[in-house]
Amino acid sequence: MADEPLVLGIETSCDETGVGIVRGTTLLADAVASSVNDHARFGGVVPEIASRAHLEEMVPTIQRALDTAGIKASDLDGIAVTAGPGLAGALLVGVSAAKAYAWALDKPLYGVNHLASHICVDQLEHGRLPEPTMALLVSGGHSSLLLSADITTDIRPLGATIDDAAGEAFDKVARVLGLGFPGGPAVDRLAREGDRKSIAFPRGLSSAKDPAYDFSFSGLKTAVARWVEAKRRAGEEVPVADVAASFQEAVTDVLTRKAVKACKENGVEHLMIGGGVAANSRLREMAQQRCDKAGIVLRVPRPGLCTDNGAMVAALGSEMVWRNRAPSSFDLSADSSLPVTEVSVPAATIEHGDLHAAAHLALG
């Protein structure tokens, strides 16, 4: 609807420069410039390379989003940006750009949480989130169970990864199997050709004495590496597809079991799954089966909205405007370890002269 907030969102927490434009819960543009190919030869993201790529791609990506949406920057009701968590240098590029545009356009600025944005992006596909909603976020840096009572103010962490996140484990196992980087899509494709019951890999933190909602994938990653190494030392052929399928089954089994358990024990009827690993086909399939059995409504955005993108930041920014939440001030800074309980960075007292100086620095 024309009277709903029109917000531009900027996401630069890792290796993708994402710019989205959202009106209410309607996605108008989702422009992404990825530097993943620049990192592939290193087997992982190099922060300095990511930051430089953001600098180079920021302005053209914003312009591409505006052109796709068919609007002028002056039409916007606000600018939202990921303030954290993420890579410090990469975040600073996005925050500085958002400050510059917000100051130049005289628009409110919203520094928002990366994880909360991953939850809110589902509104672009399935409408506004029921409250409460349980969120399972799985990516290269995070595996979290979060109870969202209010997507703009009240997100409560129930569980998190204590070592390797699910996406990180996918990347490391893919490296062991010679599948390249990023590992998630490659493992998913290969697993479809394998037998997921062929190898009994461990399920971390799954006994009754373990923390109910926390995750651990370091032991699983090590078990896969040792199993493969033992085969190679014995001169035997490694059944790569079976290893991929069995590993993937172990990860998705733990993730979905704990997510459904959290819903049941907290009386929550809706489960949302987000983050890059939410694009995994087996995770989606198993989650649907277990939610159907438990009477839980499952919400999973399409794969393109699961990975890091500006649309998710714009979605949360639009929700902030729609609910009349206070914007951030221009002393906003990046916080690489911003806790999920801080959905947005609040306004702070700042003198006009300091505000002008901050914006001048942002404009470079």
CA distance linking residue 312 with residue 297, whole number of Å: 21
33 CB burial (10 A radius; 0-12, 13-18, 19+): middle
pLDDT lower than 70: segments of the chain: 1-2, 36-37, 39-41, 348-364
Return the ∠ at Cα 83 (arms to 81 and 87), rounded to 5°: 115
57 plus 96 within the same structural domain = yes
Count of CA atoms in the C-beta half-sphere (13 A) of 329? 12
Confidence (pTM): 0.90
End of a domain among 284, 304, 324? 304
Q: Is residue 1 part of a domain?
A: no
CA distance linking residue 94 with residue 84, whole number of Å: 10
The total number of structural domains that make up the chain: 2
115 plus 157 within the same structural domain = no
Count of CA atoms in the C-beta half-sphere (13 A) of 142? 29
Q: What is the pLDDT of residues 73-117, one digit of tens each?
A: 999 999 999 999 999 999 999 999 999 999 999 999 999 999 999
- Strand, helix or coil for residue 112: strand
348 CB burial (10 A radius; 0-12, 13-18, 19+): exposed
- Strand, helix or coil for residue 77: coil
What's the pLDDT score for residue 352? 39
| Partners of 20 in the β-ladder | 9, 30
Give the domain CATH number at 320: 3.30.420.40
User: By the 8 A CB rule, do 341 and 157 touch?
Assistant: yes
173 plus 265 within the same structural domain = yes
What's the pLDDT score for residue 349? 40
CA distance linking residue 87 with residue 72, whole number of Å: 30
Domain of residue 144 covers 128-304
191 plus 219 within the same structural domain = yes
241 plus 358 within the same structural domain = no
E strand or H helix at 245, and its extent? helix 240-266
CA distance linking residue 74 with residue 67, whole number of Å: 13
User: By the 8 A CB rule, do 227 and 258 touch?
Assistant: no
End of a domain among 286, 304, 322? 304
299 plus 313 within the same structural domain = no
49 plus 182 within the same structural domain = no
User: By the 8 A CB rule, do 86 and 17 touch?
Assistant: no
E strand or H helix at 194, and its extent? none
Return the amino acid letter for 350: I
